[in-house]
Structure formats: structure tokens, C-alpha cells
Amino acid sequence: DTGVSQNPRHKITKRGQNVTFRCDPISEHNRLYWYRQTLGQGPEFLTYFQNEAQLEKSRLLSDRFSAERPKGSFSTLEIQRTEQGDSAMYLCASSLGGTGEETQYFGPGTRLLVL
Amino acid sequence: LAKTTQPISMDSYEGQEVNITCSHNNIATNDYITWYQQFPSQGPRFIIQGYKTKVTNEVASLFIPADRKSSTLSLPRVSLSDTAVYYCLVPSTDSWGKLQFGAGTQVVVTP
């Protein structure tokens, strides 16, 4: 399967702990995106990478959130000092990196539950 | 970003055709219309994309009138496995195609 992969698929943590999620995009895809989705809502954009450069961050991405894509391949999203409000599905997507109408392909997501 | 409006939910029986209409009144000249499908606990899956007139693939058809202020996703002969949330999006073409999801349309197919 050469689609977008995310690990772990599920994460349960206690409030105040740090968590890190990984996303492996489709190979040769230059663009990588992180979204967050809560129950009953559509995904909300968090941040976007073009290769290793983080080009846009949503206001949803508080100081406790950090994302990296060190070599322009996989990406990590870290949440420090988790809060119960961080409980959500975290989705990663990738695209080839051409024009604006290109398709974004999503991974299966990482479901986070903060107790 | 062009804002989209679509029904919150639609019910259908197996074997029927389901048509979901989305309005996007302020769509820009270069914008495309994109539809995604999402099952519970999975990431959204790309279904179809179009610019004008009609686009058809193995999953669905997309009808876009000349003024492009609306579009209709058509799912032929739905089955139970088509029960999902369907999102209509108009990614911006002036930057990197930012996706702004609404709540989508929950389609429920019953026997």
C-alpha cells in the first residue's frame, strides 16, 4: 500500500503528558498537511509543509503544538502538556506539489484521547 | 476561499440514485470543485473533481452548470456501503489549494 500512513492509529494519554504523531506521505509528494477533526465536524486545517519548509500555520495551532518535516519526507506533530480539549482525530494529507487544484490524499488518522 | 453550502443529511434506499447539491456562489474563475467521502474513523477519500459541465468516474458523476455557482454530486445506485459523510470543497488555486471543510452531508442508505 503506497498511501499516506499515520502512526499510531490510537493514543490515550493523561492530561499534561506530551504526545507525538508521525505521518509518512505518499513518496514523491512535496506537500504535507495536518488537520484536526472533532466529532461531527469536518477536518480543520492546522499546518502545511512544502518539502521541509513549514509555510502556513493555523491559529488553531497553539504554542503547545509543533510540527516538523526535517528531510522533506515524513512529518511529526507534537503536542506538549496535552489538555482534554486536544482530544480529536489528527489527520495527515499529502499532495504532489503542483497547482492549486491538485488532490490531497489523506491518511487514516490518529485518534487522540486525553484523560 | 469560496464558501460552500450543502444539506446536512440525506436518506436513501439501496439501489436509488443520490444527488447532493452544493452551492458555492463566490467561486473564483480558476477554482475547481472537489468532493470527498469520509467513513467513520477514517480519513477523507477523494471522490471526484471538476471545473465545468460534467465529470464522470467509476464512483460518481459531477454536474456543474454554466454559472458554476453550484454543483451536484450524483451517486448512482447506492449501496449500504455508500453510507458516509460527503464534503463539497472549493480549494483555492491562488496558493496551495487550501481545503476548508464544512460539516458535510451525512448520507444514510438503508435496505
Instruction: Determine the Cα–Cα distance for residues A28 and A45; give it in Å rounded to an integer.
Output: 22
Task: Report the chain B residue with the minimal C-alpha distance to residue A88.
Answer: B41
Whether B3 has a pLDDT exceeding 90, the answer reads no
A46-103 pLDDT tens trace: 999 999 999 888 888 889 999 999 988 999 999 999 999 999 999 999 998 766 557 8
Q: Comparing C-alpha atoms, which of A64, A66, A67, A68 is closest to residue A80?
A: A64
Which residues does A99 contact at the CB level (< 8 Å), separation at least 6? B93, B97
Q: What angle do CA B29, B75, B56 make, to 5 degrees?
A: 50
Q: For chain B, what is the largest distance between any 2 Cα atoms, rounded to a whole number of angstroms?
A: 44
**Residues of A whose CB is below 8 A from B30:** 100
3-class SS of residue A28? coil
Q: Do A89 and B92 touch (CB under 8 A)?
A: no
**Residues of A whose CB is below 8 A from B44:** 43, 91, 106
> According to the model, what pLDDT value does residue B98 have?
72
A21-42 pLDDT tens trace: 999 999 989 999 999 999 999 9
Q: Is-contact A113 A11, C-beta < 8 A?
A: yes
**Residues of A whose CB is below 8 A from B92:** 100
Whether A1 has a pLDDT exceeding 60, the answer reads no
Q: Is-contact A109 A37, C-beta < 8 A?
A: yes
B43-89 pLDDT tens trace: 999 999 999 999 999 999 999 999 999 999 999 999 999 999 999 99
